[in-house]
Amino acid sequence: MSKKIEVEIVGVAGDETLYIQFFKDGTPIPSELYRLQYPGNSYVEKMSERMIEQKGDETKIKLSLRTREFFSKCAFPLSEGNTELERDLIEQFGANARKKIDVDKIHPALFPIWQRVIARFLDGDLFADVFELTTRSDAGGASGGGEPQG
């Protein structure tokens, strides 16, 4: 029987921060609780431009650049709670034992799931899952221009 591994959004803070937890057959996987901090639309655009390499008639897409940048600028293990929400999530799911994410140490069963998370996070699709139609303080939506926390 196949074991199903999934990732779920377990918390939201403002317009640019999501908290995710990995689950196996509905049970939280220990040390797999993360804060995802959106780096800003301009940063995502520039990263997307750097990912595409054009040489003559040949076009290359460097996914490894997206992966490295995501893990250094956007994804942070939730090892300690700095806010009430983070403390509640740690109490519910347990703290992540890691302080940083090493791409080479991600379990092979989780890596393809991370790849889907990265794509959905950077294109805004994960945010659409939790988007609420509320009054915004600025006419243009979320600024997304701040530096990532972490």
pLDDT-derived band of residue 55, with 50, 70 and 90 as boundaries? confident
Distances (CA, A) of 111 to 19, 40, 62, 146: 18, 24, 17, 28
The count of C-alpha atoms lying within 13 angstroms of the C-alpha of 20, restricted to the half-sphere facing its C-beta, is 21
Domain residue ranges in the chain: 5-129
Angle at CA of residue 124, ends 72 and 32, nearest 5°? 50
Chain centre to alpha carbon of residue 18: 7
Over range 95-108, report the average pLDDT: 93
Helix, strand or coil, per DSSP, at residue 10:
strand
Q: Which amino acid is at 87?
A: R
The secondary element (H helix, E strand) that includes residue 13 is strand 5-13
Report the distance separating Cα 75 and Cα 21, nearest Å.
Answer: 12
Q: What is the pLDDT of residues 116-146, one digit of tens each?
A: 999 999 999 999 888 775 545 554 444 444 4
* Predicted TM-score of the model (pTM): 0.82
Residue 138 is predicted with a pLDDT of: 54
Q: What is the pLDDT of residues 1-42, one digit of tens each?
A: 567 999 999 999 998 999 999 999 999 999 999 999 999 999
